[in-house]
Structure 1
Amino acid sequence: MKNFKKQFPILGQYTYLNTAASGLLPEAVLEFRQDHDLDFLISGSILKEKQGEVLTGVREAVGRFFHCAPNRVALTPNFSYGFNVLMEGVEKGKKVLLLKNDYPSVNWAVESRDFETCYAAIDENLEQNISEVIEKERPDIFAFSLVQWINGIRIDLNFLKELKQKNPDLLLFGDGTQFCGTEDFDFEDSALDVLGASTYKWMNAGYGNAFFLFKEHMEEKIFPKSLGFNSLQGKYKAQEGSLIGKFEPGHLDTLNFGSLQAALELIEKTGMAEIEQRVKELTSEAKDAFKKEGLLEEAIVKREFHSPIFNIRGDEKLFQKLRSNNIICSQRGEGIRVSFHYFNTTEDLEKLMKTIRAKK
């Protein structure tokens, strides 16, 4: 097995089970950032003259990685900014289905605007709950996180395809922040009409960069009002009314978005198939171990598929014990959230379990 840890020096000190809160910065991305700012230091505006070329490369890299045409890839500083632009472009009065207790940046952006809302519960019957609410309420839009931030419940992507077949006019807006970077994903083949994601978590691209992907028909469905000089600058948006231009009204940071491209190059070099397989193996091992110790809520135990994010039973005392043993995780909801990425190992899980058992 490859030594995935060598790109992340922090793993020499800590057992890092906190990607769901903040991804690690790889050495490859750090090297890009250092070179970029050195170039800026000695070149000034000469470097910035290449901004369009750099951002075109980033857009093409994102599109290639997620199977989306680059003229339908918008670059934004974070998911929350982009999602607010998206919802501002939706006609007022539309009915939107949300998930109860979904990530605040999804629900708040809808609830703070003039939309009618309805909700489905997040539990072991998530997909059934969604179907029942849609049949009853007939919403125009379903906005949701592909993976839930507190307990890691992951929506079934095949279910979304079936949902779209039964409800072709229903628009699906997905937040992939806790999903993108954990498995291969073909946006064009998916049921989603829009996918947005911040990339500082599972893609290990650092802060200040995110993307939004759009199916072609979204040009006729949403009409954001934001506009600026940069809205019409660049290879893929140099025309009036460009949808992705509406998401990019000002100058974009070549340091942050170049970091995204460097992170994508590292993922491709490592191998997305190998990353996906490693994440799935660790997820399965962790679920079995947590289930055996009675650390999981029933909703997680009963679901067939799960993400690499878990909320295990534990209080402040256990959280501090984990920290004192250099195990990095987060307190979320009523428990302790741990998450496993491809650079984690079975030994990391074993250390976690040994520390948990030691408190008994």
Structure 2
Amino acid sequence: MSNLRKGFPVLERYTYLNTAASGLLNEKVLEFRQEHDLDFLISASVLKENQGKVLTGVREQVGETFNCAPNRVGLVPNFSYGFNTLLEGLEKTKKVLLLKNDYPSINWPVESRNFKTCYAEINEFLEENIVEVLKKEQPDFFAFSIVQYINGVKLSIAFLTQLKKDFPDVVFIADGTQYLGTEAFDFDASGIDVVISSTYKWINAGYGNGFMLFNKDIEGKVAPKHVGFGSLQGKYKAEEGNFLGKFEPGHQDTLNFGSLGEALKLIKQIGISTIESQVNLMKLKAKDIFTEMNLLEDTVLKRGDHSSIFNIKGGDKLFQYLRSKDIIVSQRGEGLRVSFHYFNTEEELDVLVKAIKNFKG
């Protein structure tokens, strides 16, 4: 386990249970960033002559990690940029299915554009609710988070794959920000049409980088309008044509996307199966303990597979008490959100539990 914590010095300072808010910076990513900017300092445009090569490499790393051909990988600064660009390419007469109280960066951009919208309730019957609304409302698009940011409710990839088979004409657009990096994910086998993800959380790539994965059939269903000189640097420009470039209008930041490349190297080095095993260990143990302590909402208790994000009962006083003990969590919804990644340990869970039991508020 100590090897999984290597290179994350913040773990020596805090009991860090807050990846759902922000991932960590690994020393290897920091080393790349320092060397990159030093090279830029002394080389300027000579460094940038390799921009296409760098971005091509990152595109291929993303494609390899999540099984998507590199010419269907878009590099974007964050989820919101990619999602808003996608929405601008949809006809305003289309109907979109959303999850009620999903991440605001999904629901707000849809609602602000006055698409026809319908909603499925997030509760213990989430999957049944989605199927029911799909049958009744017959939307053109379904935009959703794979993992809910407030309480960690998770839609399994197996469910989504079957759902796409049952509703093949609906375009599935998934936010993978709270999911990718926690377990193995095969995009091409998933049936999802578009996955968009920021990478500063569970992939630990820092801020200012993200990506989009497109299936082979999406191009004729979306007409993005963004254009810019310098779009789509690297070997996949001629191969993909203009579609992918419209999600990358202008010159890309090799510092930030190079950081994503370094973070993906670390995932490959550790092994996604190792990461998945440790995340599963932590989430199962945490759910058992939180259930015994009566800290979880009924929706989570009544569902099966869950993510490693939990919203536990507690207010501002408990939050401040935990912070005084250098235990880092977030205030979200009506409680405190705690989240466990592969570098977290059972001992850290014990530290949290002991602090909650000792709290006199």
With normalisation by structure 2, the TM-score equals 0.98
Does residue 347 of structure 1 match 2:355? no
Instruction: Find the aligned partners of 1:325 and 1:233 in 2 and give their Cα distance.
Output: 47
Q: 1:108-127 counterparts in 2 under 5 A?
A: 108-127=108-127
Runs (4+) of structure 1 exceeding 6 A deviation are: none
Instruction: Find the aligned partners of 2:188 and 2:277 in 1 and give their Cα distance.
Output: 22
For 2:223, the aligned partner's letter is: F
Q: 1:75-154 counterparts in 2 under 5 A?
A: 75-154=75-154
Match of 1:274 in 2: 274
Distance 1:314 1:306, change over 3 A: same
Instruction: Find the aligned partners of 2:297 and 2:114 in 1 and give their Cα distance.
Output: 35
- SS class of match (1:197): strand
Contact residue 25 and residue 204 of structure 1 kept, 8 A: yes
Match of 1:201 in 2: 201
Match of 2:263 in 1: 263
Contact residue 127 and residue 156 of structure 1 kept, 8 A: no
Q: Deviations over 1:333-353 (max 9, x none)?
A: 000000000000000000000
- SS class of match (1:337): strand
Instruction: Find the aligned partners of 1:321 and 1:114 in 2 and give their Cα distance.
Output: 43
Deviates more, 1:215-224 or 1:234-243: 234-243
- SS class of match (1:230): coil
CA-based RMSD of the aligned residues comes to: 1.1
Match of 1:28 in 2: 28
Instruction: Find the aligned partners of 2:246 and 2:113 in 1 and give their Cα distance.
Output: 19
Instruction: Find the aligned partners of 2:162 and 2:302 in 1 and give their Cα distance.
Output: 22
- SS class of match (1:336): strand
Shift of 1:4: 1.5
Structure 1 spans left out of the alignment, 5+ residues: none
Match of 1:159 in 2: 159
Structure 2 spans left out of the alignment, 5+ residues: none
Q: 1:12-51 counterparts in 2 under 5 A?
A: 12-51=12-51
Does residue 246 of structure 1 match 2:226? no
Does residue 287 of structure 1 match 2:307? no
Contact residue 151 and residue 309 of structure 2 kept, 8 A: yes
- SS class of match (1:338): strand
Instruction: Find the aligned partners of 2:227 and 2:80 in 1 and give their Cα distance.
Output: 18
Match of 1:214 in 2: 214
Instruction: Find the aligned partners of 2:282 and 2:320 in 1 and give their Cα distance.
Output: 24
Does residue 337 of structure 1 match 2:337? yes
Contact residue 330 and residue 336 of structure 1 kept, 8 A: yes
Match of 2:225 in 1: 225
For 2:88, the aligned partner's letter is: E
Match of 1:53 in 2: 53
Distance 1:230 1:42, change over 3 A: same
Does residue 186 of structure 1 match 2:219? no
- SS class of match (1:179): coil
- SS class of match (1:35): helix
Shift of 1:230: 2.0
Shift of 1:165: 1.3
Instruction: Find the aligned partners of 1:67 and 1:158 in 2 and give their Cα distance.
Output: 16
Q: In percent, how many aligned pairs have the same letter?
A: 64
Match of 1:313 in 2: 313
- SS class of match (1:264): helix
Contact residue 232 and residue 238 of structure 1 kept, 8 A: no
Distance 1:359 1:2, change over 3 A: closer
For 1:350, the aligned partner's letter is: D
Distance 1:11 1:91, change over 3 A: same
Distance 1:233 1:264, change over 3 A: closer
Shift of 1:234: 2.5
Distance 1:187 1:129, change over 3 A: same
Shift of 1:232: 5.3
Match of 1:171 in 2: 171
Q: Deviations over 1:153-195 (max 9, x none)?
A: 0012211122111111011000000000000100000021000
- SS class of match (2:238): coil
Q: Deviations over 1:251-284 (max 9, x none)?
A: 1000000000000001100111000000000000
Distance 1:18 1:78, change over 3 A: same
- SS class of match (1:310): strand
- SS class of match (1:154): coil
Match of 1:235 in 2: 235
Contact residue 56 and residue 233 of structure 2 kept, 8 A: no
Instruction: Find the aligned partners of 2:149 and 2:52 in 1 and give their Cα distance.
Output: 34
- SS class of match (2:97): strand
Instruction: Find the aligned partners of 1:268 and 1:304 in 2 and give their Cα distance.
Output: 29
- SS class of match (2:6): helix
Shift of 1:321: 0.7
